[in-house]
Amino acid sequence: MARVVVCGASGRMGQTIGRMVNESKGLELVGGINLKPGSFFGVEIVGAKDAEALLKRTKAEVLIDFTVAAAAVENVKMAARNNVAIVVGTTGFTPAQREEMERAIEGHVPAVISSNFSVGVNIFWQLVRESAKLLRDYDIEVIEAHHRNKKDAPSGTAKTILQIIEEEAGARKKQYGREGMTERQNEIGVHVIRGGDIVGDHKVMFSKNFETIELSHRAYDRSVFASGALRAARWVAGKKPGIYGMSDVLGLRK
C-alpha cells in the first residue's frame, strides 16, 4: 500500500484527491501540504516550511501535486531529494520551470506529469492525433472552457491539443480569438471561455467546404481528474526514475 501526501490539500482538487485516496484500496493518505496547517480526513496538513519533515516522518512514497506552477516546482524538487515518486497535474509551467523539474527528476525518481489525468481526455487526445493526421488540409479550431477562477489560458489540456495537432499536421500560426475584419488564413483558431463553475470542456473542429468534424470532451466533476491521479499514483510507485505520461499509465499507443 503506497503512502501518499497531497499538495494543495485544502483546495478543491486537493480535497477531492484526499477524500478519494482515503477511500481507496492500495493507497494510504498520510498527510497534506498547504499554505496553512490543519487536517483533512484524519491526517495532518502542514505548511510549506514543514513539508520536507512531513515526507520523512510519514515515509511517504508518492507526492501528488495539483497546485500552481511556482509551488509545484518546489514540491517536485523536495520530493526528488527525498526519493518520493511524483504525480503532477499542475499546469501553466514556463519552459524554464519545466526544465527545472526535469533536472530534479531525471535519474532520481519516477514521475507522472500530465496536463490532464482524465482517462477520457487521454483517449480524446489519441482521437485528435489520428484526426489531425488524416485531416491536415482542413481548417482547425480549438475551443476550451473552464471555471471563472482558472488562471492559465489556454488550459494545459488545450496546449497539449495544439502540440498534438502540430506534430501531425505541421506548424501553424495560433489565432487567439478574432475581432474586426479578419480573413481566415492557415492558422489554428484558439478560443478560451471562463465562467461559473465549468469543470472543463474541450472541443476541436476540423472544417472544410460542406462538412465539419467535431471531437469534444466534457468533464462534469473533478473526480475524473482525481481518479486518474490515483491510478497514476498506484502505477508510479516503484517504477524506474524518469518522466512518464498518462499514456504510459494507461498503456496507450504513442
- To the query of whether residue 150 is one of the catalytic residues in this protein, the response is yes
Backbone phi and psi for residue 233, each to the nearest 5 degrees, phi listed first: -65, -40
Q: Please state, in angstroms and rounded to a whole number, the distance separating the CA atoms of residues 2 and 79.
A: 15
What lies within 8 Å, CB to CB, of 99 at 6+ separation is none
- As a three-state string, the secondary structure of 133-172 is HHCCCCEEEEEEEECCCCCCCCCHHHHHHHHHHHHHHCCC
What's the sign of the alpha-carbon dihedral 238, 239, 240, 243? Answer: negative
124 and 242 share one domain: no
48 and 139 share one domain: no
One-letter amino acid identity for 104? A
Domain count, the chain: 2
Q: 148 pLDDT band (50/70/90 cuts)?
A: very high
245 and 207 share one domain: no
pLDDT score, position 182: 84
208 and 232 share one domain: no
235 and 202 share one domain: no
Statement: residue 252 has pLDDT above 90? no
Q: Please state, in angstroms and rounded to a whole number, the distance separating the CA atoms of residues 86 and 10.
A: 19
59 and 185 share one domain: no
- Residue indicated by cell numbers 519545466: 98
Q: What's the mean pLDDT in 81-110?
A: 96
29 and 154 share one domain: no
Catalytic residue among 108, 146, 202, 217: 146
136 and 229 share one domain: no
Task: Give the pLDDT confidence of 190-230 residue by residue, as tens digits.
Answer: 999 999 999 999 999 999 999 999 999 999 999 999 999 99
What is the extent of the structural domain holding 145?
Answer: 119-219
Average pLDDT, the chain: 96
More confident residue, 253 or 227: 227
Statement: residue 94 has pLDDT above 70? yes
Q: Please state, in angstroms and rounded to a whole number, the distance separating the CA atoms of residues 33 and 24.
A: 20
131 and 184 share one domain: yes
One-letter amino acid identity for 175? Q
Statement: residue 181 has pLDDT above 90? no
Q: What's the mean pLDDT in 68-95?
A: 96
Catalytic residue among 77, 147, 150, 191: 150
CA 6 vs CA 84, 200, 213, 223, 227: distances in Å: 12, 22, 40, 15, 14
- Residue indicated by cell numbers 471531437: 215
68 and 94 share one domain: yes
Statement: residue 135 has pLDDT above 70? yes
Q: What is the CATH number of the domain that holds 147?
A: 3.30.360.10
pLDDT score, position 57: 97
Q: What is the CATH number of the domain that holds 28?
A: 3.40.50.720
Q: Please state, in angstroms and rounded to a whole number, the distance separating the CA atoms of residues 111 and 184.
A: 41
Q: 254 pLDDT band (50/70/90 cuts)?
A: low
140 and 175 share one domain: yes
- Segment (H or E) for 3: strand 2-7
41 and 135 share one domain: no
Peptide bond into 154 cis (omega under 30): yes
Statement: residue 253 has pLDDT above 80? no
